[in-house]
Amino acid sequence: MWLYLAAVLAGLYLLRRWHRERQMVPRLSEKYVLITGCDSGFGNLLARQLDARGLRVLAACLTETGAAQLRAATSPRLQTVLLDVTSSQSIAAATAWVRECVGDQGLWGLVNNAGTAIPTAPNEWLTKDDFVKVLDVNLVGLIEVTLSLLPLVRRARGRVVNVASVMGRISFFGGGYCISKFGVEAFSDSLRIEMCNFGVKVSVIEPGYFKTMITNAENVEKNLLSIWEKLLEETKASYGENYLKECLVALRKMQMRCNSNLTLVTDCMEHALTSRFPRTRYSVGWDAKLLYIPLSYLPSALTDFILTWSYPKPAQKV
């Protein structure tokens, strides 16, 4: 009997959740949404997707080439602005431009999508500056953009959507990427709590492995080989040439497993912006849901055993 009761309650909960998530925000054609990192990948696809939906998209691109290509592929509603999230001057200029565009109604949506993963390598191979390069884009830049635009979002009682990663839950490769995504998760949590009384909703997108410029195997391999060449001979001897080769093989395997269906991610972003009841977190991809998130809840000793089982082995082991 208790099993049947639990099943009924679970069914009612899922039905209620399904009903709530299907309720959309009215007058979407009047809403302004700013998206960072629109030159390619998730940001580019989301900008085109929201434009087709009728929203007023403000697409922030790093390059004029990326901005021009996006304008050519979308309606006249979409507007572009050049934005380097590592530059305070660039952020201030973009904020002033957004303020002019949205006027008194404020900014309905801010999607912090701009990101990078390079340099990525075993931690010992990297320098402080290597970590800073990634953190400046993925975390510090995201925070500064958010703080600059938050008054406009608060005026509209709108949404902040931060793109983290499933690697923000579990970290098994070196460099600033996983660290930055842990930080995005923490910043989003504190911001969500602070903004709830203002009617602003904050959501986090946690993609698994998807085929974007960030996961481009060729770029990551060039980065890794470049870092290897600069290592001290003592460090190279400790790890060995075979360790490097195994890392490169693992990168190629990862690229083969990457999901090319980016709409799985952009659909979650769109839902976070257009649903009356957006989720706090959107974990996207079967690898995220069935592998990495369950791993993040296991005892650390068990998680370490599973991850190191297939990890490259250095030449000099204890």
Catalytic residues: 177
Burial class (CB in 10 A: 0-12, 13-18, 19+), 284: buried
Edge-to-edge order in the sheet of strand 56-61: 79-82, 56-61, 32-35, 109-112, 159-163, 201-207, 281-284
- Quote the longest CA-to-CA distance of the chain: 68
As a whole number of angstroms, the distance between CA 300 and CA 307 comes to: 10
Q: What's the residue count for the chain?
A: 318
Q: Residue 236: what residue type?
A: K
Give the CA distances from residue 205 to residues 35, 115, 174, 232, in Å, rounded to whole numbers and listed in that order: 14, 13, 21, 39
